[in-house]
Amino acid sequence: MIRQTKQRQAILEAVEGSHDHPTAAQVYDRVRRVLPGVGFATVYRNLGTLAEGGMIREIRVGEVTQYDRRTDRHDHAVCRRCGKLVDVMVPLPIEVLQAALEQSGFQVAGHHTEVFGLCSECR
């Protein structure tokens, strides 16, 4: 059974309280302010656990892994200059994907679109 610990709770709160999309290292830093003795292994382990449990979402964009408090399906736009990640919902009906993959026999379960370009500050 999944236990409630102060570390796990603090890690979840660190992600849920973020309006950006923190990396594991950033979550570690934020949690350390509340629980100075926390180990980074605990943070990594719990980010994985929480993502598996569907409480947070793990997004890999480019070479970095980031965590998102939003668990509903949505897409992301990445700034090529500063790396900033912006949430966006790209309207893409599943039928369009199914049609595109029809001949390959691929069964579509989900999708994620990454848009790249320049954010408002960098353009």
Partner DNA sequence: ATATATGCAAATAGTTTGCAAGGAG
Partner DNA sequence: CTCCTTGCAAACTATTTGCATATAT
Residues of the shown chain interacting with a second copy in the complex, contacts defined by CB under 8 A = 60, 62-63, 77, 79-80, 86, 88-92, 96-97, 100-101, 104-120, 123
Tokens of 14: 């660190």
Instruction: Report how far apart, in Å, the C-alpha atoms of 107 and of each of 73, 74, 96, 119 are.
Output: 18, 20, 13, 34
For residue 27, give the nearest of 85, 78, 71, 66 by alpha carbon.
66
Q: Are 111 and 47 in contact (CB under 8 A)?
A: no
Say if CB 12 and CB 56 are below 8 A apart: yes
Choosing among a second copy, DNA, none, which partner's interface includes residue 101 (Cβ < 5 to 8 Å by kind)?
Answer: a second copy
The verdict on 41 binding DNA (CB under 7 A) reads yes
The whole-angstrom separation of Cα 117 and Cα 123 is 9
Interaction between residue 57 and DNA (CB under 7 A): no
Task: Say how far apart CA 66 and CA 24 lie, in whole Å.
Answer: 7
CB of 46 to DNA, least distance (A): 5
User: Binds 5, which of DNA, a second copy, none (CB < 5 to 8 A, cut-off by type)?
Assistant: DNA
CB-nearer residue toward a second copy: 17 or 117: 117
From candidates 55, 61, 65, 87, binder to DNA by CB under 7 A: 65
Q: Does 76 bind DNA (CB under 7 A)?
A: no
Based on the shown chain and the rule CB under 7 A, indicate whether residue 1 belongs to the binding site for DNA.
Answer: yes
According to the binding rule CB under 7 A, does residue 18 interact with DNA? Answer: no
